[in-house]
Amino acid sequence: MTDIRTPRTPLHPAPNEEVSQLPNAPMADEMDLNPELYDDEDVAVGIGRGNTIVIEEEVRPNGENSQLVQEQGQEQVNEIMSDEESEMEEVDVTNKVDIILLTPDFDEYMSKLNIAFEANKEAQLSASQQSNLVMYLDDSILKVHRKFIKSQVNEEMTYPINDLIGDLTSTLDVLWLSVNSRNKLIFQGEYLIKVLGDMLDFIENYRSLIDPHKQHTFQSLTADLEKIFQFFQALDARIAFLMDGYSIEGSLLQKLSGTQVIRVVPIATRLRMAVISKMELVRHQLVSLPPDQQAISNLIDIEVSKLFEGILDRS
């Protein structure tokens, strides 16, 4: 058995000893420390002697490699942008319909309501004037109910919802005069809540919110929907205004009571759902319109999302 001798350990300088001699042999010019770092585009791979792999890098002075990468990247970006522009040119925009919202933004509407209130001077109603106003409101609302019931019983008599809304609008405008003239809340809130509840009954019993006896066009259908949604926004804003309350000289803040708020919120929620349900039936009527005018369906989606946002946001 032959002895296996281990090589001698090379001498190392002591911890406090300076190195007197350093290796002065020249370093190899081509040292391949990490070939994976080379870019594939700048590396040529071949087979050398003895099946060894020979890697030759194309060296460009003064940072030409990075400049080439930037130029190639910019060319790819330009090609992508050119393709997207050509695709956009092929889009057919002949069926584009400009959609104008039927109702303004709720905050904008409330701002106008407050400005109108501040612009009016206080004018207290006498007891006899209050009595006459109550009689007028009762009589006007009763007439609306009679017309609606007759239209439901007698098919020959029509009372479209837009006509009903027109009658109620004039009634509520008279009611609101007593609020704008800074009178105390005595009966105004109760009548607004009553009209809100009555509208729930009306909506649920209407077969359609669009007059079925009318030949509709895009313009006529938009006008009918505009009247409906503007009425609901006005009713919503006025009730929300009374939920916030208003001040009159020498009196406490005039606003709906807690009991009235508890009553009005579920009514508004149910009425909102009823209107959304009826609007689904309106969508079926859009089938008769030309395809380029059926974009009104998107308009309906926007408007129903705004229904009674004033009341519900304050609940």
Number of domains in the chain: 1
The answer to whether residue 285 is domain-embedded is yes
The answer to whether residue 86 is domain-embedded is no
Distance of CA 170 to the CA centre of its chain: 32
Distance CA 45, CA 59 (A): 15
The answer to whether residue 70 is domain-embedded is no
Q: Average of pLDDT values for 206-225?
A: 82
What residue numbers bound the domain in which 110 lies? Answer: 106-313
Q: pLDDT tens-digit profile of 79-98?
A: 545 554 544 444 333 344 45
Which residue in the block uniquely carries the two structure tokens 């109910």? 145
Q: pLDDT tens-digit profile of 227-270?
A: 999 999 999 999 999 999 999 887 789 999 999 999 999 999 99
Contact 174, 137 (CB under 8 A): yes
User: Tokens for 120?
Assistant: 């009016």
The answer to whether residue 190 is domain-embedded is yes
The answer to whether residue 278 is domain-embedded is yes
Using left for φ > 0, alpha for ψ between -120 and 50, and beta otherwise, residue 253 falls in: beta
Give the closest residue to 256 by CA, choosing from 175, 195, 311, 300: 311
The answer to whether residue 203 is domain-embedded is yes
Q: pLDDT tens-digit profile of 153-177?
A: 987 788 999 999 999 999 999 999 9
Q: What's the pLDDT at 180?
A: 92
Record the pTM. Answer: 0.68
Distance CA 260, CA 176 (A): 18
The answer to whether residue 296 is domain-embedded is yes
The answer to whether residue 181 is domain-embedded is yes
pLDDT at residue 217 is higher than 80: no
Mean model confidence pLDDT for the chain: 79
